[in-house]
Amino acid sequence: MYDSVAVVGATGAVGTLIVRMLQERKFPYKRMKFLASKRSVGKVIPFNGGEITVEELCPDAFNDVDLVIASTPDSVARDFVPEARKRVKVIVDESGYWRMYPDVPLVIPEVNAKDILKHKGLISSPNCSTTQMVVALKPLHDYARVRRVVVSTYQATSGAGLAGNRDLISSSKAWLDAGNEYVDCPCETFPYPIGFNCIPQIGSEKEKGYTSEELKLLHETRKILGDSSIQVCPTAVRVPVANCHSESVVVETERKITVEKARELFAAALGVVLMDDLANKSYPTPFHCHDKDEVFVGRIREDLTAPNSLAFWCVSDNLRKGAATNAVQIAEWIQQNM
């Protein structure tokens, strides 16, 4: 039981949602503090019928803290985590900086909660696009062992933070004001206007023509499922959707899974909601999945090109299960089991 809790990055897009979810899920605590950068110090945040004043993120802020839930840019996590680890019992970190360190568990509670027991003061929460895909892959992997995945992501602008959604609004307005014409307009986050557009690059260029976001889908999937032999061919695309990531997934398994069996496995899986009735136009969309904690799966069908292969579509709220929900679920598991 951890009595003193701190939320780092409490004023950011994900941090604000973490604060909200701690209240909604009635997370147990005796003392709570909110930490952020200097520009947010002094801001007052309503919390559980009272108010908490935001304090500056600095090493001494952790002196009386047991549990940290953090959502910050990678560079901030790189700097604050080593000092925080000297002072607190455990940190749940949303950033990408520590995920692939061998001694840091990378955890989705529905998939590999017991890896939390291996922690040495730090637990990482995966990338949002990885999280929803692996939650969906888990029941298939347990039943027939996943060997290869081809995934294309259709990622919402909120995945790039508040500035991403501002780009969506401003560039969409520019299109409409120009009479439905493409116009060049200033962008805070994206290399091109995202309104009425798709951008096939998320993250920086890495080896063999893949981006950093795409390689997260490969390396994080292998680490979470504990199988370095799984092959993943990813393509990450930013689309003009405010919230919820969508993914088209083709998965090859060691033995055949029929469509009927796949539906059965998805329906019984933790954290998965099945929406798969094409005849009645029932399938997941961001419209249906916004502000929900589950991963929604539909459009399940056989791959026409390979005998042991299935195709499906999945959608999840990238700010909730892809970020805040997963981090809070890890913290809940710690409270209940350690």
For strands 231-238 and 146-155, give the pairing. Answer: parallel
Q: Which residues are catalytic?
A: 128, 245
Same domain, 251 and 214: yes
CA-nearest of 184, 233, 183, 176 to 208 is 233
The residue-averaged pLDDT of 54-68 equals 96
The H helix count followed by the E strand count for the chain is 9, 14
Same domain, 142 and 69: no
Same domain, 114 and 197: no
CATH code for the domain in which residue 77 is found: 3.40.50.720
Same domain, 145 and 238: yes
* 228 close to 220: Cβ distance less than 8 angstroms: no
Model confidence pLDDT, tens digit, residues 215-246: 999 999 999 999 999 999 999 999 999 999 99
Same domain, 118 and 138: no
Same domain, 51 and 64: yes
Locate all alpha helices (DSSP H) within 100-226, ordered by sequence: 109-112, 128-144, 162-177, 212-225
Same domain, 120 and 177: no
**Number of compact structural domains in the chain:** 2
Same domain, 207 and 62: no
Residue-range definition of the domain harbouring residue 98? 4-126+323-337
Model confidence pLDDT, tens digit, residues 110-158: 999 999 999 999 999 999 999 999 999 999 999 999 999 999 999 999 9
Model confidence pLDDT, tens digit, residues 79-111: 999 999 999 999 999 999 999 999 999 999 999
Query: What span, in angstroms and rounded, lies between the C-alpha atoms of 280 and 109?
Result: 33
Same domain, 71 and 214: no
* Residue 2 pLDDT: 75
DSSP letter at 183? -
What is the percent of the chain with per-residue pLDDT over 90, rounded to a whole number?
Answer: 98
* Residue 186 pLDDT: 93
Same domain, 267 and 309: yes
* Residue 193 pLDDT: 97
Model confidence pLDDT, tens digit, residues 269-326: 999 999 999 999 999 999 999 999 999 999 999 999 999 999 999 999 999 999 999 9
Same domain, 22 and 110: yes
What distances in angstroms separate CA 41 from CA 56, 95, 202, 336, one per listed residue? 6, 21, 31, 32
pLDDT of 1 strictly over 90: no
pLDDT of 14 strictly over 70: yes
CATH code for the domain in which residue 263 is found: 3.30.360.10
Same domain, 43 and 146: no
For the chain, give the mean pLDDT: 97
